[in-house]
Amino acid sequence: MIVKHILSAFLAFLVLVNPLQKLFVVVSLQNSYTKLELRQIINRSNRTALEVLVIFLFAGAVLLNYVFNIRIYAFQVTCGFVLLYNGFMGLQKGMFLPLDGKNGINDIIAVPIAVPMIAGPATITAAVSMPSIYGKWITLGAIVAAIATNWLIMRYANPISKVLTRYNILMPLVRITGLIVAAIGMQMIFNGVKAFIGSL
């Protein structure tokens, strides 16, 4: 039963983190940053996302309701707009982040890569709510394992992308993923609006 709970929680977080999306994010950054800078972006964005999720795991309800005085639906709508914009960038320009040559790595690590691309509102909501189902320590293990998997895919995005490029499917997949990311952003907005209406 414990193994089943661990696997179930891990798969839930892995789906929410969506590592395949981050593969294309890394690919879109390769021409704008050096290998060392790209490695720093990957390492620090995953670490930041992990820290955010762990904080919300142990203190999420208190932070949202009493410290920041915001609700999950407000977070969903805001992050939804961020993902919607990034999705359109991927769909129209073949890249998920607007870069003009002046963006330092610190400009993109926390927002939008760590939040909301890795630790989005759905993932944060899961970090807050899943301990009541699986317990805090199983949830913590699931979060760590999902972020580790995401880091691994981002870390080896280059050789993966070379295989995709060899078969001429990289750019079509980037644009398709952009459409999916935009749709996820819209769904987040709809969910946030629905939750807001339900709270009235």
Range of the domain at 78: 2-199
Q: What's the domain count of the chain?
A: 1
Q: How many residues does the chain have?
A: 200
Q: Mind listing the pLDDT tens digit of every residue in the chain (200 residues)?
A: 788 888 988 988 987 888 877 887 898 888 888 999 999 999 999 999 999 999 999 987 777 777 777 777 887 787 778 778 877 877 777 666 665 556 678 888 998 899 888 998 778 878 887 887 788 999 999 999 999 999 999 999 999 888 888 888 877 877 887 787 788 778 878 988 998 899 88
Number of neighbours of residue 125 by Cβ within 10 angstroms:
18
As given in the structure block, the two tokens for residue 66 are: 């009493």
pTM: 0.76
